[in-house]
Amino acid sequence: SKEVAGGSYHFYDEKIGKRTIQNVKYENALYRALERDEFTLYYQPQIDYCNNRLFGVEALIRWNHPEEGLVPPDIFIPLAEQTGLIVPIGEWVLREAVFQLEKWHDLGFTDLIMAVNLSAAQFEQGNLHRSVKQVLAETGIRPDHLHLELTENQIMRNTDLAISTMNKLKELGVQLDIDDFGTGYSSLSYLQRFPISTLKIDRTFIRDILHDEDDRALTDTIITMAKNMGLEVIAEGVETVEQADHLVSRNCTLMQGYYFSPPIPARKLESDFLTNK
């Protein structure tokens, strides 16, 4: 089920039976997936629409199951959370993503930033900042080129712990982004307590932005207040030029979505986006 502020919806109710069988099937395979090297990262471009510039990428994990093919993260991330496997998997993602960023910096794209998703368990586990510090030291990547994405609900679970963990990460110099913003339980004024740099507006608000007045008003409010708080804003799930143009007219120029590119393998990102240096 997916929780949304003001009520909770159970998108998957009718599928629960099916998902449970699937879970049992995947669980054993998931245990071996790391050692069998079955995970890979795709990268989705983050674009500054004003100058049509790639400024960053978000790393998104894919599981190449030997029999089933690509298993989407919405299926195996929750399973990995339940089994605790998300911690070593998340560690792998962090290292793989930062090492990939080092390669791209070495190709001359030295401004590129990398955004990495953190799971709740990874975030609440004591030595996250040590892992982050270590991979930055190993690669020489400047800390502010690494963005770590957290959802509102992740930071609202235990706000004191979240603030102290975030402060430790912030001391390293990495940037903290709030993912899926607008779908959780925090408020913008509350967010001032957290050392964050960017809000990512959830794609459910962008989807109907041209036709739904509530979504448009909410998006406007998020953009305006974020700017007033000195935060960057990225709109997620931009699928059409009309959505992109509307966002620009509202002063939001940083975007991510299928209109620009779906998540793609590293080689394809290089051939499609990293050619002019």
Nearest 10 degrees: CA dihedral of 164, 168, 174, 175?
A: 10
Q: Nearest-CA neighbor of 194 among 168, 220, 218, 172?
A: 168
DSSP code of 72? P
Query: Of ligand C2E, Ca ion, none, which one does residue 48 interact with (CB within 5 to 8 Å by kind)?
Result: none
Residue choice 67, 74, 160, 214 for contact with ligand C2E (CB under 6 A)? 74
Q: Which residues, including other chains, have CB under 8 Å from residue 248's CB and lie 6 or more apart?
A: 49, 50
Stretch touching ligand C2E by CB under 6 A, among 20-28, 134-142, 186-194, 257-265: 257-265
User: How long is the chain?
Assistant: 277
How big is the CA angle at 180 (ends 132 and 6), to the nearest 5 degrees? Answer: 135
Q: To the nearest whole angstrom, how small is the minimum distance from the Cβ of residue 36 to Ca ion?
A: 25
Determine, following the binding rule CB under 6 A, whether residue 117 of this chain makes contact with ligand C2E.
yes
Q: Looking at beta carbons only, is 139 or 253 nearer to Ca ion? A: 139
Instruction: Report CA 188 to chain centroid distance, whole Å.
Output: 19
Residue choice 99, 239, 270, 274 for contact with ligand C2E (CB under 6 A)? 239
Residue choice 30, 54, 71, 77 for contact with ligand C2E (CB under 6 A)? 77
Q: CA–CA separation, 80 vs 83, rounded Å?
A: 5
Q: CA–CA separation, 178 vs 199, rounded Å?
A: 5
Residue choice 128, 179, 223, 253 for contact with Ca ion (CB under 5 A)? 179
| CA-based R_g, the chain, Å | 19
Residue with CB nearest ligand C2E? 257
Determine, following the binding rule CB under 6 A, whether residue 265 of this chain makes contact with ligand C2E.
no
Determine, following the binding rule CB under 6 A, whether residue 258 of this chain makes contact with ligand C2E.
yes
Q: Residue 68 phi/psi, 5° resolution?
A: -90, -10
Query: Of Ca ion, ligand C2E, none, which one does residue 73 interact with (CB within 5 to 8 Å by kind)?
Result: ligand C2E
How big is the CA angle at 16 (ends 62 and 22), to the nearest 5 degrees? Answer: 45
Q: To the nearest whole angstrom, how small is the minimum distance from the Cβ of residue 88 to Ca ion?
A: 20
Return residues touching Ca ion (CB under 5 A).
Answer: 102, 117, 139-140, 149, 179-180, 236
Q: Which residues bind ligand C2E (CB under 6 A)?
A: 44, 60-61, 72-74, 77, 90, 93, 117-119, 179-180, 203, 237-239, 257-258, 263
